[in-house]
């Protein structure tokens, strides 16, 4: 029996800290374990006993990259419990805010975290020395996303203007105009980003994932929709707990999620795109086709192209919302607390984000449950490693280690959300 051991002391360019261990025995991958040792962050417990109105601001603190997603799932779940439906311009502004976050988050991952893998750089700084114009374009594009979140949310990170029922303050039409000018530039830059990413070399790796995402009647999903899968699941967000389960595994402080009676599934850009291609704008569809993507994408290494298509869509959709915007009469719908359980699922940049709250009659939060995308993807990331690494065992340790890291980065894991630094230990048993 031969045994090969490779250790990576730091899995770089991910959000948060964790470790990776791959064991290879007799030329085959025996186990691949994503270890997340970041201490649990107890956000659900922090929410207990707090007023419902505090949930958007508390949950926004879970992530510096996708705070809007946490706010949106929180407000939708609480509104679900209180029987409140947000419509019209307030609903549109929520979509606009989400567009800003997707632009911010995806662009960060594409340019700063993922592209160096394809272009052979240690990181974004090294890449910037050779490709300053490209990195500047990325930063400028991210800035457009920041501008959206800042205008609607009050600041770029951890926005403070979201409340149950709507917003504390809504923008005037004239305030949105400078944003539109910035977004028109961003839309062109996003199209260039799709074309740039499409030119990378991708390993030929396909996976038969069970994709899970929201699906809406006529929109590419941000805030609303039914939870559907590529294998026929079609449920309301309130049924999530009936169909999905979270289990604890020793190697991770983030719970693993699985389909009850099923197996691992995948959330995020690949899932969203593959289940909702027909809901993308014509511009985004056309760019995807020109980039060589089909109506589904099962090669996780191409996720960088899919993310770029979603950035393009977000710029396009943001412009549509701004063009059609009419100032609402009031910044928020009336909210009357009542006892009950509320469910909310929205599409964070990394995938489905589910919240459930049990609320008391006065609106106090009695219980909270939050299932972030990265916890849902842990098992699929491990499965990717088991399936793909076997073909690359001839690579020297350093290259193999890098390929393992890239395989994890395909899914843009946000380890901090899920519970930070990833260590890779590759055991070849020899």
Partner 1 sequence: MPQASFGLSTHGFGLSEAIELTRALGQLPPCCVVYAIEGSSFDVGAPLSPLVAAAVAAVAEQMRVEIAGNTGPRAEAACMKLH
Shortest distance (Å) from residue 113 CB to partner 1? 7
Cβ neighbours around 44 below 10 Å, total: 17
149 binds partner 1 (CB under 8 A): no
29, 96, 124, 333: residue in contact with partner 1 (rule CB under 8 A):
124
103 lies in the binding site for partner 1 (CB under 8 A): no
Check: CB of residue 423 under 8 Å from CB of residue 10. yes
13 binds partner 1 (CB under 8 A): yes
13 phi/psi in degrees, rounded to 5: 55, 50
Tell me the window of 7-15, 223-231, 255-263, 279-287 that interacts with partner 1 (CB under 8 A). 7-15
Does residue number 12 form part of the binding site for partner 1 (CB under 8 A)? yes
Q: Sign of the CA dihedral 288, 293, 294, 300? A: negative
Contact flag: residue 22 with partner 1 (CB under 8 A) = no
Following CA atoms 384, 69, 117, 395 in sequence, which dihedral angle do they give, to the nearest 10 degrees? -20
Kindly state whether residue 115 participates in binding partner 1, applying the rule CB under 8 A.
no
Task: Tell me if 144 sits within 8 A of 311, measured CB to CB.
Answer: no
348 binds partner 1 (CB under 8 A): no
Pairing of strands 421-429, 17-25: parallel
Residue 15 touching partner 1 (CB under 8 A): yes
Contacts of 424 (CB under 8 A, 6+ apart): 6, 7, 8, 9, 11, 19, 20, 21, 22, 401, 404, 405
Q: Is the dihedral of CA 400, 405, 406, 407 positive or negative?
A: positive
- Decide: is 14 part of the binding site for partner 1 (CB under 8 A): yes
Options 46-54, 234-242, 273-281, 417-425: segment touching partner 1 (CB under 8 A): 417-425
- Please report, as residue ranges, which positions from 223 to 262 form the binding site for partner 1 (by CB under 8 A): none
Of 136 and 289, the one with the shorter C-beta distance to partner 1 is: 136
Report if residue 118 touches partner 1, rule: CB under 8 A.
Answer: no
Q: DSSP letters of 2-13? A: -EEEEEEEEE-S
- Is the dihedral angle over the CA atoms 361, 364, 367, 368 positive or is it negative? positive
Stretch near partner 1 under the rule CB under 8 A, chosen from 9-17, 98-106, 198-206, 208-216 = 9-17
Euclidean distance between CA atoms 160 and 269, whole angstroms: 27
Distance in Å, CB of 427 to partner 1, minimum: 23
Distance CA 142, CA 132 (A): 15
- Asked if residue 416 binds partner 1 (CB under 8 A), the reply is yes
398: contact with partner 1 by CB under 8 A: no
Among 420, 425, 427, 429, binds partner 1 (CB under 8 A): 420
Piece of the chain touching partner 1 by CB under 8 A; list 14-22, 51-59, 144-152, 369-377: 14-22
132, 199, 294, 390: which one binds partner 1 (CB under 8 A): 132
* Contact footprint for partner 1 (CB under 8 A): 10, 12-17, 65, 108, 112-113, 122-126, 128-129, 132, 135-136, 415-416, 420-422
């Amino acid at each position: 029996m031969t045994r090969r051991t490779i250790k990576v002391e730091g899995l770089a360019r991910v959000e948060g800290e964790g470790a990776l261990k791959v064991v290879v025995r007799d030329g085959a991958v025996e186990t691949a374990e994503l270890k997340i040792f970041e201490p649990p962050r107890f956000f659900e417990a922090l929410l207990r006993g707090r007023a419902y109105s505090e949930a958007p601001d508390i949950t926004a603190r879970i992530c510096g990259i996708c705070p809007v997603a946490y706010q949106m799932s929180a407000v939708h779940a609480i509104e679900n419990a209180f029987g409140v439906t947000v419509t019209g311009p307030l609903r549109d502004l929520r979509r606009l805010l989400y567009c800003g976050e997707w632009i911010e988050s995806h662009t960060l991952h594409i340019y700063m975290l993922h592209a160096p893998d394809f272009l052979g750089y240690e990181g974004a700084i090294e890449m910037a020395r050779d490709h300053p114009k490209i990195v500047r374009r990325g930063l400028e594009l991210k800035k457009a996303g920041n501008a959206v979140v800042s205008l609607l949310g009050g600041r770029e990170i951890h926005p403070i203007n979201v409340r149950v029922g709507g917003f504390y303050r809504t923008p005037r039409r004239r305030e949105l105009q400078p944003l539109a000018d910035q977004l028109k530039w961003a839309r062109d830059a996003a199209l260039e980003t799709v074309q740039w990413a499409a030119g990378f070399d991708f390993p030929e790796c396909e996976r038969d994932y069970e994709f899970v995402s929201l699906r809406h009647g006529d929109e590419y999903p941000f805030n609303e929709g039914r939870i559907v899968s590529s294998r026929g699941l079609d449920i309301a967000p309130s049924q999530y707990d009936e169909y999905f389960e979270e289990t604890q595994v020793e190697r991770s402080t983030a719970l693993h999620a699985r389909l009850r009676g099923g197996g691992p599934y995948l959330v995020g850009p690949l899932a969203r795109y593959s289940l909702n291609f027909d809901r993308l704008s014509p511009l985004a569809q056309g760019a995807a086709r020109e980039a060589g993507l089909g109506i589904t994408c099962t090669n996780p290494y191409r996720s960088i192209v899919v993310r770029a298509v979603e950035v393009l869509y977000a710029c396009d959709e943001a412009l549509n919302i701004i063009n059609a915007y009419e100032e609402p009469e009031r910044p928020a719908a009336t909210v009357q607390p009542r006892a009950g359980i509320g469910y909310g699922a929205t599409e964070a940049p990394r995938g489905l984000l589910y919240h459930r709250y049990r609320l008391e009659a006065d609106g106090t939060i009695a219980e909270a449950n939050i299932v972030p995308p990265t916890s849902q993807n842990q098992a699929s990331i491990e499965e990717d490693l088991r399936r793909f690494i076997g073909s690359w065992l001839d690579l020297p340790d350093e290259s193999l280690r890098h390929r393992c890291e890239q395989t994890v980065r395909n899914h843009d894991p946000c380890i901090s959300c899920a519970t930070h630094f990833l260590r890779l230990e590759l055991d070849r048993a020899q």
